Amino acid sequence: MALYAAWLSGKFADPAGAVKWRPQIWRLFSLVFFAQLFLGLAGFEKMLMTGKLHLPVPALIVAGPIYRGSDFFMPILFTVTALLVGPAWCSHLCYIGTWDDCFSRRRSEPVQLPGYVSIIRFLLLVFVVVMALLLRYFAVGWLVAISAGALFGLAGIAVMVVLSRRHGAMIHCTCYCPMGLIGNWLGRLSMFRVKIADGCTECNLCRKSCRYNALSPVDIKLRRPGSTCTLCGDCIGACHSGQIGYRLPFLSSHSARTVFIVMIISLHAIFLAVARI
């Protein structure tokens, strides 16, 4: 896995190459994750990690422990990852997010989404937390709880198939998934940022490459991505004048990007090796 990560880091060294490789290794991770899950459920128990399983729906990372009152490993893992690499979980490590990415790329350029979509995602986060608390308070059985989680997950897939595909933007990740919002919040505690230099010509090539609705004309004028940025780096590869880059205190933009690549690919390799974590 270390050799694989070193080889992949070389592929990511060029920003244009990273734009090509990120979706591919992201899909690979999702494929391995679900292959191990299905093999484990089919009887190959060594494919499963220890502990209690939950549906592979990102919202259950927060809802599952609230309902059970235990098993906080996944929230801890998510939080630590966000502290290390900001909200990059959502653009590199989420086993469902890659599906949204695939559907959004059916349209060549994303449509700019209205500002109120962030409110929708916040309300959905409140809904998920309140529902989990109510299910726990009224001691609702696991069958009803798992059915509710499955319905929420299926609705998310419908959002990808219909809305993400139509708008060319990752509607599930930016408007529907509560963990995406939590990732953006926790990402503010990370030291990594994406900044746009003053020499930006406002050609909007970066906006056309952003599937996360994070580069509106206003954001570009303010010289920083919007709150839905996941540090995916697609805008860096799209910028022909080299005016967009990662920022880390006391380091140049090139060095900051190198540190970020090493960290996110290391996490990718570790997660891939133990995909049922």
Confidence of residue 277 (pLDDT cuts 50, 70, 90): very low
**3 state DSSP class of 227:** coil
Q: What's the pLDDT at 52?
A: 61
The strand ranges marked E within 125-221 are 193-196
**Is-contact 113 174, C-beta < 8 A?**
yes
Domain range for 28? 2-192+252-273
Domain count, the chain: 1
pLDDT tens track for 105-126:
999 899 999 888 889 999 999 9
Residue 247 domain-assigned (yes or no): no
Read off the pLDDT of each residue in 180-195 and give the average, rounded to a whole number.
94
Q: How far apart are CA 246 and CA 165, in angstroms?
A: 29
Residue 225 domain-assigned (yes or no): no
Residue 101, pLDDT > 50, answer yes
Read off the pLDDT of each residue in 178-198 and give the average, rounded to a whole number.
94
**3 state DSSP class of 53:** coil
115 closest CA partner among 227, 210, 232, 208? 227
Residue 76 domain-assigned (yes or no): yes
Residue 125 domain-assigned (yes or no): yes
Residue 94 domain-assigned (yes or no): yes
Residue 84 domain-assigned (yes or no): yes
pLDDT tens track for 138-153:
999 999 999 999 999 9
Q: What's the pLDDT at 37?
A: 85
Which pair of structure tokens corresponds to residue 277? 């974590």
**3 state DSSP class of 47:** helix
**3 state DSSP class of 246:** strand
pLDDT tens track for 259-276:
999 999 999 999 988 865
Q: How far apart are CA 70 and CA 44, in angstroms?
A: 26
Read off the pLDDT of each residue in 79-105 and give the average, rounded to a whole number.
95
Q: What's the pLDDT at 40?
A: 84
Residue 33 domain-assigned (yes or no): yes
Q: What's the pLDDT at 139?
A: 95
Q: What's the pLDDT at 39?
A: 87
Question: What percent of the chain is predicted at pLDDT more than 90?
Answer: 83
**3 state DSSP class of 218:** helix
Confidence of residue 12 (pLDDT cuts 50, 70, 90): very high
Residue 199 domain-assigned (yes or no): no
Chain centre distance of CA 247: 20
In our burial notation (b when 16+ CB lie closer than 10 A, e otherwise), range 257-268 reads bbbbbeebbbbb
Residue 137, pLDDT > 80, answer yes
Specify the amino acid at residue 122. F
Q: What's the pLDDT at 251?
A: 95
Q: What's the pLDDT at 45?
A: 78
pLDDT tens track for 51-83:
666 688 999 999 999 999 988 988 999 999 999
Q: What is the mean pLDDT of the chain?
A: 92
Q: What's the pLDDT at 50?
A: 63
Question: What percent of the chain is predicted at pLDDT more than 70?
Answer: 97
Q: What's the pLDDT at 71?
A: 83
